[in-house]
A and B are shown apart, each in its own frame.
Chain A
Amino acid sequence: MFSVGLTHYLVLSAILFSLGLFGVVTRRNAILVLMGIELILNSANINFIAFSHYGKLNIDGQLAAVFVIILAAAEAAVALAIVLNIYKTFQTVNVDEINKLKE
């Protein structure tokens, strides 16, 4: 029978990565750019865990995924603080309108 293997998970993560990259490149809103980054990190995690399940990496792939999740949480907190500051300064969060480092 046609059974789900390693390749299926890899293709799924490739699609998720491409969607996330598309969001990062095309969206104007800074928060939507952050959501695209989260999609990319999730696709990387799927890869790590798929290789840890189907390869000989027993638990190491899952540990890498744990660290990715930790860094994603830290990144989201700091990035949203920066976005809030940008909004306070410029009254917009559109990344194509913010082209000054300082008011």
Chain B
Amino acid sequence: MQMLDLIFYVFALLIIFSASVVVFAKNIIYSAFALLFTFFGVAAIYVLLTADFLAVTQLLIYVGGILVLMLFGVMLTHKLISVDIAVKPMRILPATIIIAMIAGTLIGIFTTTQWKSVESFNGNQIKTTTNLIGEAFLTAYLLPFEVASVVLLVALIGAALLARREKPKNNV
């Protein structure tokens, strides 16, 4: 178990460091690329928690989809020649105080609660979860699954409609 601890700490440090770069970096491009490492670290944490399907989904959707969308958003909304990419933060002091309080509360609650932790998957018999997830989607979670597909369709059409260049209205 010593090895797993080491892996956990390495990836936890990677996540915290790269998330700090996302939040504190002056250059928005640095933030976008640090987000890549955060997503990779979170995928590694999913593997440690024996969620193999979720880890691959994280890589495919976050790294392959959302991150590329973000990069396109950065490039389309900045004049790359003029240097207004550096952005100054606002409301630093009150935000720091309130968020330090929130973080302290959360960590305090998490560390003082007596969790009944039952490790449901033993290290010896790790099962792949893809089977179980597929079965659950088509039995107990059928309705949310279908609703999610409709939501994705609506979001696809809505995003395409919103981002389309508006044509000037001709005289009828």
Contacts and interface: CB of A to CB of B under 8 A. Distances in A.
Interface of A: 1-12, 14-23, 25-32, 34-36, 38-39, 42, 45-46, 49-50, 52-56, 58-60, 62-63, 65-67, 69-78, 80-85, 87, 93-94, 96
Given A26-B91, A59-B132, A54 B118 contact: yes
Given A29-B28, A52-B49, 10 more contacts: A12-B12, A19-B19, A22-B95, A35-B31, A35-B70, A52-B120, A59-B136, A70-B151, A81-B158, A83-B77
26 contacts: A1-B2, A4-B9, A5-B117, A7-B111, A12-B12, A18-B103, A19-B16, A22-B23, A23-B22, A27-B23, A27-B89, A28-B87, A36-B23, A42-B62, A54-B119, A59-B133, A62-B53, A63-B136, A71-B148, A76-B70, A77-B69, A77-B155, A77-B156, A80-B73, A93-B77, A96-B90
Contact of A78 (B95, B102, B103, B155): B155
Nearest to B163: A81
A39 B19 CA distance: 8
B110 A81 contact: no
Main SS class of interface, B:
helix
Interface of B: 1-2, 4-5, 8-9, 12, 15-16, 19-20, 22-23, 28, 31-32, 35, 38-39, 42, 45-46, 49-51, 53-54, 57-58, 61-62, 65-66, 69-70, 72-74, 76-77, 87-92, 95-96, 98-100, 102-103, 106-107, 110-111, 115-121, 129, 132-133, 136-137, 141, 144, 148, 151-152, 155-156, 158-160, 162-163
